[in-house]
């Protein structure tokens, strides 16, 4: 099944749009969580921010994540409201400990590097810890949150580490997979004081991702279990070495079927509230951070309400709704007009800094071609996060300095990968495209100087490549590429710029004028009533269930069913403009008649429309059903109420208004 959203071809990017519903032809650089009305919609960043960890220092909040083979590594993001974040620095510039990160001899380690980092603030210093799966524990220390950080290595197996500076001056690392250990280390993290002691053995698989805290008289260890469909458990003891009691905190896939919220910890805010942060595996973006409030009961963190079977609403009130913070896209374009790369850029593995420049031609990024057998071991590939649900990247490339054997262009970075570009061979220019080297398309083309490339990734995990000679007339090239997320990198998809040389002759360079982004999504759950709205993009729901249209995790296309009659899904910000006349919904009918009510503001609010989905033959095609609707204007909250037999629920995928 294909979904069709508005995709504008206008590439003039606004640096900021207010939190209003997107109108026909409007454009943002990427989706962001702040709804502009005192609420936000999860994920906080619909982009790859895996193994998230957070701390508070006074009234400032800091967030970090794993970056594996990418450098600079472990971004430090800052926020005043826990919703709007800005990258302010990195824990390190280069990966250390092994020259495989320099792609020495053509070797690579895409799933190496920084795993599950931990951030702490202690005695006026910021600490960032991570484990490299080559077998060492890395400590990064700085007086400033943005760095620079000083690194030390401890050759000790401390998988998924979380650090506690205890009240008595002792320092503990909680770590492990399936078996959770506590290891006491020196305060400077250069030696082990007390070897690893087992404190908990799991009763289910993939028990990992420890986050250790001390609150009042208890030690708390937060752990994930179950991998992608995961859930979150809390361990509690009055002794660091246990015994530990255990309780389940969260077991929900929120609004993405089969992908549970998991692996996180809690944070006590400066106003006394407590919140929990986690991530969710979400193809094609990667592992995206979620945030929701918790309360404390008898010394245990719990969800504020279990009325909806422990499910967590995507849209929440902001922790600090009065904070003077404006929502804006997390990822924004780069015109390469600065003498430094924007902090959102990262290199695949360690770069060769002598082979790129922002100074050799002002206003351009110059990538000098280096020898590589293929794109996979090409050094100095520069990448930015894909932000869902949909995002387009465009770049302008001056190819006049390419030499025979050079290849340069725009890519979807991951494993598998795909790219479009220009290859120069025997004095001729070729337009090339490949999907992970499996299929290759190649056409001779004559370009004097500049060519433009564009790639769009959508919520169905499909990327489509285009090229243009004049940035006005665009032409598809290559096939649809399925973006994936796997343990080959443990990272979500990114858009990137590359230039490499496949031969052993003279090498040239490529000049990139800019990287610009656009998206039909801006402020999270704000929708134009006349565009198709995916059913799962609700702000809240009750007694519904999502399933995949295609029974695999590579496609996030979903349908909604009800678990009892009267179930509902709520959409807080739908812009009806000057009014509508009809309600339309796409569904697969069941063996019994069903009806969908459109109500204003609440499940029992004013009835605007009643759409009948008549009984049909199970397994037939999805089709559109419609009904006349009482007109409403402007931005309104709409609730869809579903009346059907649980065992005979229609499968609903999307809706719109006319």
Q: For position 405, which CATH number holds?
A: 2.60.120.200
Q: What is the pLDDT of residues 257-271, one digit of tens each?
A: 999 999 999 999 999
Task: DSSP letter for 69, please.
Answer: T
529/511 Cα distance (integer angstroms): 42
The average confidence (pLDDT) of the chain is 92
Structure tokens at 525: 């759950």
Backbone φ and ψ for 194, nearest 5 degrees, come out as -135, 125
Co-location of 355 and 240 in the same domain: no
Residue 515 DSSP SS3? strand
Count CB atoms within 10 A of the CB of residue 423. 20
Per cent of the chain over pLDDT 70 is: 94
Among this protein's residues, is 208 annotated catalytic?
yes
Phi-psi map region of 609: left, alpha, beta (phi>0 left; psi -120 to 50 alpha) = beta
The answer to whether position 28 is within a domain reads no
CATH of the domain at 615: 2.60.120.260
Tell me the pLDDT tens digit for each residue of 499-546. 999 988 999 999 999 999 999 999 999 999 999 999 999 999 999 999
pLDDT at 18 over 80: no
What pLDDT digit, counting tens, does each position of 108-147 carry?
999 999 999 999 999 999 999 999 999 999 999 999 999 9
Output the six-digit token pair for 587: 């569904």
Question: Are 263 and 203 part of one and the same domain?
Answer: yes
Task: Clarify whether residues 245 and 352 are in a common domain.
Answer: no
104: three-class secondary structure by DSSP: helix
What is the DSSP code string of 587-620?
EE--SS-EEEEEEESSTTSEEEEEEEE----TT-
Q: Is residue 414 part of a domain?
A: yes
For residues 421 and 493, membership in a common domain is answered with yes
Task: Tell whether the model's pLDDT for residue 199 goes beyond 80.
Answer: yes
Q: How does pLDDT run across 39-53, given as a tens digit for each residue?
A: 999 999 999 999 999
Tell me how crowded residue 594 is: count the other CB atoms within 10 A of its CB.
23
How many other β-carbons are positioned within 10 Å of the β-carbon of residue 517? 24
Residue 603 within any structural domain of the chain:
yes
Q: Residue 24's pLDDT is what?
A: 40
334 falls within a domain: no
Report residue 310's pLDDT band, with 50, 70 and 90 as the boundaries: confident
Asked if the model's pLDDT at residue 284 lies above 50, the reply is: yes
Of the residues 29, 208, 232, 561, which is catalytic?
A: 208
Residue 510 CA to chain centroid, in angstroms? 29
Over residues 297-315, the mean pLDDT reads 85
* Nearest residue to 130 (alpha-carbon basis) of 96, 88, 87, 167: 96
Structure confidence at residue 311 as a pLDDT band (50, 70, 90): confident
pLDDT, position 45: 98
Residue 83, CA distances (Å) to 27, 35, 316, 345, 387 in order: 21, 10, 11, 21, 15
Is the sign of the CA dihedral 359, 365, 370, 376 positive or negative?
positive
pLDDT tops 80 at residue 462: yes
Residues 284 and 391 in one domain: no
CA distance 387 to 245: 39
Structure tokens at 651: 């499968």
| Single residue among 475, 499, 518 that ends a domain in this structure | 518
Going by pLDDT thresholds of 50, 70 and 90, the confidence category of residue 619 is low
Cβ pair 535, 558 in contact under 8 A: yes
Q: Are residues 135 and 279 in the same domain?
A: yes
474 and 431 belong to one structural domain: yes
Q: What is residue 217's predicted lDDT score, i.e. its pLDDT?
A: 93
d(CA 82, CA 54): 9
What CA–CA distance (Å, rounded) separates 283 from 133?
24
- What residues make up the domain containing 540? 526-657
Q: How far apart are CA 412 and CA 393, in angstroms?
A: 10
Q: What CATH number does residue 180 fall under?
A: 2.115.10.20
Check whether residue 514 and residue 586 sit in a common domain. no
Q: Does 536 share its domain with 510? A: no
- 145 and 286 housed in the same domain: yes
Does residue 21 lie in a domain region? no
Same domain for 404 and 269?
no
- The pLDDT of residue 321 is 85
- Say whether pLDDT at 306 is over 70: no
**What was the pLDDT predicted at 17?**
33
Structure confidence at residue 11 (pLDDT): 30
Question: Pick from 497, 518, 539: which residue ends a domain?
Answer: 518
Domain contains 306: yes
- With a cut of 90, say whether residue 617 has pLDDT above it: no
Does the annotation count 51 as an active-site position? yes
For residue 260, being part of any structural domain is answered with yes
Distance CA 154, CA 67 (A): 20
Residues 637 and 566 in one domain: yes
From 29, 48, 51, 398, the catalytic residue: 51
Q: Measure Cα distances from 532 to 236, 455, 634 in Å.
A: 46, 22, 17
Instruction: Identify any residues that bridge with 613 across adjacent strands, giving them in sequence order.
Output: 594
Q: How many domains does the chain have?
A: 3
Q: How confident is the model at residue 560 (pLDDT cuts 50, 70, 90)?
A: very high
What pLDDT, in 10s, does the model give residues 135-190? 999 999 999 999 999 999 999 999 999 999 999 999 999 999 999 999 999 999 99
Contact 515, 26 (CB under 8 A): no
Statement: residue 13 has pLDDT above 60? no
Task: pLDDT band for 551, please (50, 70, 90 cuts).
Answer: low
Domain boundary among 317, 338, 372: 317
What are 326's two structure tokens?
């404006």
- Give the integer Cα–Cα distance in Å for 100 and 70: 13
The CA-CA-CA angle for residues 115, 312, 326, to 5°, reads 75
Predicted local confidence at residue 322, as pLDDT: 78
C-alpha–C-alpha distance, residues 57 and 566, integer Å: 45
Average pLDDT of the segment spanning 581-586: 97
Distance CA 97, CA 115 (A): 14
Domain annotation covers residue 18: no
Three-state secondary structure call for residue 430: strand
């Amino acid at each position: 099944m294909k979904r069709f959203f508005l995709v504008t071809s206008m590439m003039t990017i606004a640096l900021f749009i207010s939190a209003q519903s997107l109108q026909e032809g409007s454009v943002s650089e990427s989706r962001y969580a702040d709804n502009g009305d005192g609420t936000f919609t999860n994920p906080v960043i619909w982009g790859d921010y895996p193994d998230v960890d957070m701390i508070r220092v006074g009234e400032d909040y800091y967030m970090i994540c794993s970056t594996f083979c990418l450098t600079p590594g472990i971004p430090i993001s800052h926020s005043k409201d826990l919703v709007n974040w800005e990258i302010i620095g990195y824990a390190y510039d280069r990966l250390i400990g092994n020259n495989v990160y320099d792609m020495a001899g053509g070797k690579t380690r895409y799933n190496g590097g920084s795993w599950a980092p931990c951030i702490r603030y202690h005695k006026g210093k910021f600490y960032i810890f991570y484990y490299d799966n080559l077998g060492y524990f890395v400590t990064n220390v700085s007086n400033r949150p943005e760095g620079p950080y000083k690194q030390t290595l401890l050759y000790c197996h401390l998988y998924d580490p979380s650090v506690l500076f205890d009240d008595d001056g002792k320092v503990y690392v909680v770590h492990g997979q399936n078996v959770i250990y506590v290891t006491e280390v020196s305060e400077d993290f250069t030696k082990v004081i007390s070897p690893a002691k087992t404190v908990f053995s799991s009763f289910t698989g993939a028990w990992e991702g420890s986050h250790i805290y001390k609150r009042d008289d208890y030690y708390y260890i937060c752990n994930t279990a179950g991998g992608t469909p995961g859930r979150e458990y809390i361990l509690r003891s009055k002794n660091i070495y246990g015994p530990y009691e255990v309780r389940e905190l969260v077991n929900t896939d929120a609004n993405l079927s089969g992908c549970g919220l998991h692996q996180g910890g809690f944070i006590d805010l400066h106003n006394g509230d407590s919140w929990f942060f986690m991530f969710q595996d979400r193809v094609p973006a990667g592992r995206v951070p979620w945030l929701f409030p918790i309360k404390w009961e008898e010394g245990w963190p719990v969800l504020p309400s279990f009325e909806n079977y422990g499910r967590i609403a995507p849209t929440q009130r902001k922790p600090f709704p009065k904070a003077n913070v404006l929502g804006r896209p997390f990822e924004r374009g780069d015109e390469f007009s600065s003498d430094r790369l924007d902090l959102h850029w990262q290199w695949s593995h360690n770069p060769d800094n002598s082979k790129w420049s922002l100074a050799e031609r002002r206003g351009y990024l110059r990538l000098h071609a280096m020898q590589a057998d293929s794109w996979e071991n090409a050094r100095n590939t520069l990448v930015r996060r894909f932000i869902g649900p949909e995002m387009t990247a465009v770049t302008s490339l001056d190819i006049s300095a390419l030499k025979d054997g050079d290849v340069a262009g725009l890519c979807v970075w991951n494993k598998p990968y795909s790219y479009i570009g220009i290859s120069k061979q025997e004095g001729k220019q070729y337009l090339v495209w490949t999907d992970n080297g499996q299929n290759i398309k190649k056409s001779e083309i004559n370009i004097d100087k500049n060519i433009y490339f564009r790639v769009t990734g959508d919520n169905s995990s499909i990327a489509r490549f285009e090229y243009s000679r004049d940035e006005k007339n665009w032409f598809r090239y290559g096939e649809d590429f399925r973006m994936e997320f796997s343990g080959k990198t443990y990272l979500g998809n990114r858009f990137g710029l590359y230039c490499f040389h496949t031969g052993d002759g003279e090498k040239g360079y490529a000049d990139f004028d800019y990287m610009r982004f656009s998206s039909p999504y801006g402020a999270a759950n704000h929708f134009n009533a006349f565009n198709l709205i995916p059913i799962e993009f609700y702000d809240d729901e009750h007694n519904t269930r999502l399933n995949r249209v295609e029974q695999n995790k590579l496609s996030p296309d979903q349908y909604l069913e009800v678990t009892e009659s009267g179930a509902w899904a709520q959409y807080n910000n739908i812009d009806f403009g000057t009014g509508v006349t009809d309600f339309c919904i796409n569904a697969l009918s069941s063996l019994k008649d069903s009806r969908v009510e459109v109500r204003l503001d609440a499940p029992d609010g004013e009835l605007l429309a009643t759409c009948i989905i008549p009984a049909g033959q199970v397994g037939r095609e999805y089709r559109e059903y419609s009904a006349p609707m009482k007109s409403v204007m402007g931005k309104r909250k709409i609730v869809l109420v579903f009346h059907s037999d649980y065992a005979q629920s229609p499968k609903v995928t999307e809706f719109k208004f006319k």
